[in-house]
């Protein structure tokens, strides 16, 4: 399921060439800004430093002139801007190193900035998918896996459903036009799972059974 993506990709986002009969339906990656906001809590971090700057200025304003009091809060503004810039840079690197792929047979996720891996998730491993749609059309599609399939939450973060740690759900995070992708994924999965599966049974063929006519 997991593949160390150290070699040159024969197909963008995939560790090997597609087998006969499999076709790519969609490929995409997270929106870097939305990833920074939703996965890295950029707005909360910015709000924290802004509150600290205002609080510092208010406290200093009791004994200092207005503009001097404002300057005492400026270090928090500078620190906040620096931290937010780092968070956005992390999100940008994560987004650019990620390729989500939906084929007519599976979902593949090439993820990771420092250590790149590719998750191959056949439709039969996916029990359900949920869409968290946000303003502007971006959204996250979380995939609930069936059976004994387990993934590491930390190893696949931020490409997971937030806070689903007991049973990690890999997710296509913060993708543009998420509703269309969700519809495409649902249609492809339904078509694939509706195909009859023929299994081979070892051993001699079963003998015909005679049924007496009444």
CATH classification at residue 169: 2.30.29.30
Residue 10 lies in a domain: no
Q: What is the pLDDT of residue 214?
A: 38
- Cα–Cα distances (Å) from 66 to 3, 52, 75, 100, in that order, read 59, 17, 16, 52
70: pLDDT strictly greater than 80: yes
Note down the domain range covering 61.
35-94
Q: Where are the beta strands (DSSP E) in the chain?
A: 2-4, 24-28, 99-103, 106-111, 117-122, 126-133, 139-145, 171-175
Kindly state the average pLDDT of the residues 60-83. 87
Residue 153 lies in a domain: yes
With contact defined as beta carbons under 8 Å apart, do 117 and 4 qualify?
Answer: yes
4 band by pLDDT with thresholds 50, 70 and 90? very low
176 and 104 in a common domain: yes
Q: What is the pLDDT of residue 200?
A: 57
Q: What is the pLDDT of residues 164-181, one digit of tens each?
A: 888 999 999 999 999 999
Kindly report the backbone phi and psi dihedral angles of residue 141, in degrees, each rounded to the nearest multiple of 5, phi listed first. -110, 110
Number of structural domains in the chain: 2
Residue 74 lies in a domain: yes
Q: Which residue has the higher pLDDT, 141 or 11?
A: 141
Q: What is the pLDDT of residues 74-92, one digit of tens each?
A: 899 999 999 999 999 999 9
Task: Quote the mean pLDDT of the chain.
Answer: 86
Instruction: Give me the residues paired with residue 99 across strands.
Output: 110
Q: Which residue has the higher pLDDT, 191 or 148?
A: 191
Residue 58 lies in a domain: yes
113 and 90 in a common domain: no
137 and 78 in a common domain: no
- Enclosing H/E stretch for 37: helix 32-38
Q: Which residue has the higher pLDDT, 64 or 137?
A: 137
Q: What is the pLDDT of residue 8?
A: 66
176 and 157 in a common domain: yes
Kindly state the average pLDDT of the residues 115-119. 89
Helical ranges in 61-177 per DSSP H:
66-96, 153-156
6: pLDDT strictly greater than 50: no
* Least confident segment among 120-129, 182-191, 204-213: 204-213
206 band by pLDDT with thresholds 50, 70 and 90? very low
Q: What is the pLDDT of residues 128-164, one digit of tens each?
A: 999 999 988 999 999 999 877 788 899 899 999 998 8
Q: How many whole angstroms separate alpha carbon 86 and alpha carbon 80?
A: 10
115 and 73 in a common domain: no
How many C-beta neighbours within 10 Å does residue 203 have?
A: 5
29: pLDDT strictly greater than 90: yes
């Amino acid at each position: 399921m997991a593949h160390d993506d150290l070699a040159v990709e024969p197909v963008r986002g995939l560790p090997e060439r597609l087998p006969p009969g499999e076709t790519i339906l969609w490929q995409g990656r997270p929106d870097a800004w939305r990833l920074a906001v939703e996965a890295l809590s950029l707005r909360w971090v910015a709000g924290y430093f802004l509150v600290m700057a205002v609080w510092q200025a208010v406290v200093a304003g009791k004994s200092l002139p207005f503009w001097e009091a404002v300057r005492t809060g400026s270090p928090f503004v500078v620190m906040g801007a620096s931290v937010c810039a780092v968070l956005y840079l992390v999100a940008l690197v994560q987004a650019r190193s990620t390729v989500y792929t939906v084929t007519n047979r599976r979902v593949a996720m090439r993820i990771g900035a420092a250590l790149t891996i590719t998750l191959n998730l056949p439709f039969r491993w996916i029990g359900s998918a949920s869409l968290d749609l946000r303003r502007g059309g971006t959204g996250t599609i979380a995939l609930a896996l069936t059976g004994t399939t387990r993934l590491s939450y930390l190893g696949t973060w931020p490409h997971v459903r937030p806070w689903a740690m007991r049973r990690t759900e890999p997710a296509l995070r913060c993708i543009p036009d998420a509703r269309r992708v969700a519809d495409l994924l649902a249609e492809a999965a339904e078509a694939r799972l509706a195909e009859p599966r023929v299994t081979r049974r070892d051993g001699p063929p079963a003998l015909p059974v005679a049924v007496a006519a009444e």
